[in-house]
Each structure stands twice: as structure tokens, then as C-alpha cells.
Amino acid sequence: MTGLSRKQREIAERHNHFLSIARDLLRDEGFHQLSMERVAELAEYSKGTVYQHFNCKEEMVGQLCINAMQRLHCLGQRAIQYQGSHRERLLAFFIANDVFQQMEEDAVCNMQSYQHDQIINKVSESTRMRHSELMYGIFCQVKSIVEDAMRDGDLPSSHTSAEDMVFGFWSLNHGAQAIRSHQYPLEELGISEPGAAIMIMLQSLLDGLGWKPDKHPSVTKNEHLQTIRDALFSQQSLPSEIKPIPPMPINTHQPQLESAV
């Protein structure tokens, strides 16, 4: 908040305070129990003050989703900058998503809920645009790894485009997030480590695509993955810094970022 006036800082702090209360209500009581009145009551502000920041409770969910996606983008940025092979960088990206799933289960649930029509159709245009911009930014992170692998010969040329490959990886990851966020009894189904299961499927998919394998004869695959995880994501807190997001090429209008008010 550097460069803001005292009043602007107070407005931004109040805005974040409302979001924090909404996040806790979503976690503890669910979407249907979230209301502008309840947030106002817990924050000890008038309902009118809350409406100065958000036009509806769906907007709160949308902005919580954006905040979470920014943190996920930061983790993805760490992954693609990993000093290893292109395959290791892609593995690091999936590890980043697994770390995020474990550390921010509530945020993942909010990101899943945002996709419902009852929410996404009520949020502001600027929130929808920011969400699309962030989704495109994360898509570009993975696409850059695939294109680098194709360029350097780690991934043979095929009839499958980089974009189609990213869609496949995205589907694998998004589906896993959805299943894990819905609290299915995975252990009763014999799935004790869903993150590890996804990594096995990813490795098999990469082998099928002809992606050059990493050769680490002195370590097992699990030890190799743990080395990547420890190198990038050993901290117990998510990064607070936000990396630049590439502009999304939709129409000729560039979305404006949400202000703190």
C-alpha cells in the first residue's frame, strides 16, 4: 500500500477486513449462510458501508477467488523458473498446485464455487475480466514450458499443438482439484495420496507424448519429486509477491485491475 494516503489505506484495510470475514463465513457456514448483513454485523459496520465495497455477496466470492489465483500464479512462477529440465519445470508446476491444494483448501473450494452460474453471472465486469486475465496468465505459464520443450527437442513435434497439450494438463489438474475439494472419501476408495497419484498419471502422459525423461539413476522418482518440492516450496507460507500477468488477447480492450475501494 505504499504511496496511498491515510484515507486510502484505511479504505483498503476495511475492504480486506470484509473479505476476511466473508472467507471465514464461507469456510465455517457455507455460501448460503454468507450475506452482506452478516458481514456487516461481524465487522461492526453498517450494511451500507459493506455495499460501498461490494455490490453483492457473489462479488466477495469473486474477489476472494482472484486473490487466491494471484497466490497460485506466484507459485506457478516459481515452478517455471526452476533451474532444471523442461520436464522438471512442468513437474514443478503440478507440485505447486498440490502445495496450493494442501495449504489453501478453502481457497480451492472458493475457486470451484466461482464457476457456478449463480455466482459468475452476478459479479462485476471488472472482476470477471480480472479472473479471465489471471486464468490466461496461468495458462501461459504452462504453455511456455511446453513450447520450450518443443523448441529444444525434449518434446517431439506432433499434430498436437502446445495449446491442446496445456488443455490436457489443465483438465487433469482441474479435475483433481474438484474431486479433492468436494471431500470425497478417497481413502475408502484406496487412494491415500491423491497428489502422488496425479503425478504418476502425469509422468505416464509425458512418456506417451515422447517427452524426454529425466535420468536420475541414484534416486527414485518419489525422491526426485521431493527434491523439486523442497527446492521450491519448503516455506510454510505462500508468497505474498504478485508477479506480472501477461495481457489477455480478447477483443481490443485491456481489463482494468480492481481498485482497493
Using CA atoms in the order 101, 106, 111, 117, what is the torsion angle rounded to 10 degrees? 140
pLDDT single digits (tens) 160-194? 899 999 999 999 998 888 888 777 888 888 988 88
CATH topology (fold) of 70-261: Tetracycline Repressor; domain 2 (1.10.357)
> H-type helices in the chain, by residue range?
6-29, 36-43, 47-53, 57-80, 86-103, 105-114, 117-120, 125-152, 162-181, 194-208, 221-233
**Domain chopping of the chain, boundaries:** 1-54, 70-261
Angle formed at CA 136 by CA 77 and CA 14, multiple of 5 degrees: 75
pTM of the model as a whole: 0.82
What's the pLDDT band for 112 if we cut at 50, 70, 90? confident
Q: For residues 128 and 134, is the Cβ–Cβ distance under 8 A?
A: no
CATH classification number, 1-54, choose in 2.40.360.20, 1.10.1200.10, 3.40.50.10320, 1.10.10.60: 1.10.10.60
Rounded CA-CA distance 9/15 in Å is 10
Q: Is a pLDDT exceeding 90 seen at residue 88? A: yes
Task: For residues 158 and 160, give the distance between their C-alpha atoms in angstroms, rounded to a whole number.
Answer: 5
What pLDDT does residue 54 have? 95
Query: What distance in Å separates the CA atoms of residue 82 and residue 186, rounded to the nearest whole number?
Result: 31
How wide is the angle at C-alpha 177 spanned by C-alphas 31 and 255, nearest 5°? 70
pLDDT tens digits for range 218-251: 667 788 888 898 888 875 444 544 344 444 443 3
In this structure, what are the phi and psi dihedrals at residue 200, rounded to the nearest 5 degrees?
-65, -45
